[in-house]
């Protein structure tokens, strides 16, 4: 399954694969065309349907992940040492940068971990 749009160059490769916290979506970054793609996972068949593939607003997006609300995405851009944040509309297939990029030294991996004080969290 291609992770890029048809008009992208051959010098592109998927760099990261991350599942959403509810396991309904797969996020990948594409090095070469500097994009992020989101796929919906068919819960019965396990097949993927691409929702979007859009620019990650940075160079060499090494990793990306959906926030647990599935309405926001962060991309770690290795070559320009930035984190970029986006609002995501999975129904419309849109990705919109929603804040200024944040400088970070050699971003490599993003992980969301739920913090809680009890077993009900």
Other C-beta atoms closer than 10 Å to the C-beta of 61 total 27
Residue-level pLDDT at 86: 95
Domain boundaries in the chain? 13-103
4 vs 25 pLDDT, higher one: 25
Residue-level pLDDT at 93: 93
* Residue-wise pLDDT tens digits, 11-48: 766 778 999 999 999 999 888 888 899 999 999 999 99
**Percent of the chain whose pLDDT exceeds 70:** 86
Structure token pair of residue 116: 């809680």
Residue-level pLDDT at 120: 59
Q: How far apart are CA 102 and CA 22, in angstroms?
A: 27
């Amino acid at each position: 399954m291609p992770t890029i749009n048809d008009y992208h160059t051959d010098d592109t490769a998927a760099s990261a694969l991350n599942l959403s916290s509810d396991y309904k979506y797969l996020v990948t970054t594409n090095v070469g065309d500097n994009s992020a793609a989101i796929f919906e996972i068919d819960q019965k068949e396990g097949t993927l349907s691409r929702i979007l593939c859009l620019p990650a607003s940075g160079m060499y997006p090494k990793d990306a992940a959906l926030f647990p609300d599935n309405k926001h995405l962060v991309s770690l851009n290795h070559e320009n040492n930035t984190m970029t944040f986006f609002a995501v509309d999975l129904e419309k297939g849109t990705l919109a940068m929603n804040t200024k990029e944040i400088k970070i030294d050699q971003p490599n991996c993003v992980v969301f971990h739920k913090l809680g004080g009890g077993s009900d969290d």
